[in-house]
Structures are given as structure tokens and as C-alpha cells.
Amino acid sequence: MTEWINQRFGVNLNDNDLTSIKDFSLVWNVFEGNVFANRFTITRAETEINNRVFEIAEFQTFLDYFKILYVQNGATNVRFDNLHFRPSDRKVFVQQVLLDTLTDIREIILAIIIIIYRLRNNLFHRLKDIRVIDQQRDNFNQANSFLTTLLNHF
């Protein structure tokens, strides 16, 4: 598959560049299938999170990662805007979490889920350019790690 992508789009990706993205497809499938019966919504995610107990220590590194990525000089940045939030995606809520206005662990987890949901939609609906998809490796590694950590609570 990697060879076909390279030929088709004139890129030079290798299997390592795509592993985290392939893994993400599988982990998201497990997350959405097992927790949401294949009907993920942000509202359903909020309900599921509110029914559980979490420790910030398990999720702090993920929050820190996304803050470094999406916050600059006390405000969200262009990268954050490039998540292409839709009206129902609670963009302001996610901004409030990233800017430390909302600090409850459940709010943090929901905001990270929403960020990962945007990464997912941007990937699956081709808002991420295949020619630079390898630049998303760290994002998908973080998403995979977050989702597997979260799935341990379900």
C-alpha cells in the first residue's frame, strides 16, 4: 500500500511513517465500537465520561502535548484552527480546557476526545494532505496512547 501511495502521489513515505495512522484506524474502531456501539457523538462521550472516575496523572501528558501543539502566547493558534471544528464540535469548550479555564478531569478528557475526533475526521474525510501525512505521526501516536489509556476505564 505504501508503494502505491508513493507512486500515486509522488511522495516517499515508508511503513514507519504510516504505522501510527494505521494503528489509529484500529484503535478508533475499537473505541467507537465497544464504547458507543458504532455511534460516537460528543454528547454520548460526555455521558460515558461523567459515569467514571479518572485520575489526572493518567491524562496530564496528553493535555500537555496538545497544549504545546495548539496554544501559543496564551491563545489557541493556527494549528488549532486547522482542526476544522464544525459548529457542533464545541470549539470554545476545547479552547477553554487548553487555556486552563476549565480544569476538571472529565472536561480535560472530553476536550482531548474532541481533538482526537477532529483528527479522525480530518484524516478520514481527506482534510489531511496525504503528501504530508507523515507529519501527523506524533499526533496519532498521542491519540493511540490516549485512547488505549481511556479504554482501560471501560
**DSSP secondary structure letter of residue 76:** E
Q: In this structure, is residue 125 part of a structural domain?
A: yes
Residue 62 lies in a domain: yes
pTM: 0.92
32 within some domain: yes
With cut-offs at 50, 70 and 90, classify the pLDDT of residue 6.
confident
Whether 2 maps to a domain, the answer reads: no
> Is residue 92 included in any domain, yes or no?
yes
Tens of pLDDT, residue by residue over 30-39, are 999 999 999 9
- pLDDT range class, residue 18, cuts 50, 70, 90: confident
Residue 6 lies in a domain: no
Per-residue pLDDT band at 13 (split at 50, 70, 90):
confident
In a domain, 105, yes or no: yes
pLDDT exceeds 70 at position 126: no
Confidence grade of residue 130 (pLDDT, cut at 50, 70, 90): low
Please give the single-letter amino acid code of residue 86: R
What is the number of structural domains in the chain?
1
- Give CB contacts under 8 A, 24+ apart, made by 31-40: 31/147, 31/150, 31/151, 34/151, 34/154, 35/151, 35/154, 40/117
Asked, for residue 63, whether it belongs to a domain, the answer is yes
Q: What percent of the chain has pLDDT over 90?
A: 75
The domain in which residue 96 lies consists of 18-151
110 within 8 A of 45, measured Cβ to Cβ: yes
Q: Is the dihedral of CA 68, 88, 90, 146 positive or negative?
A: negative
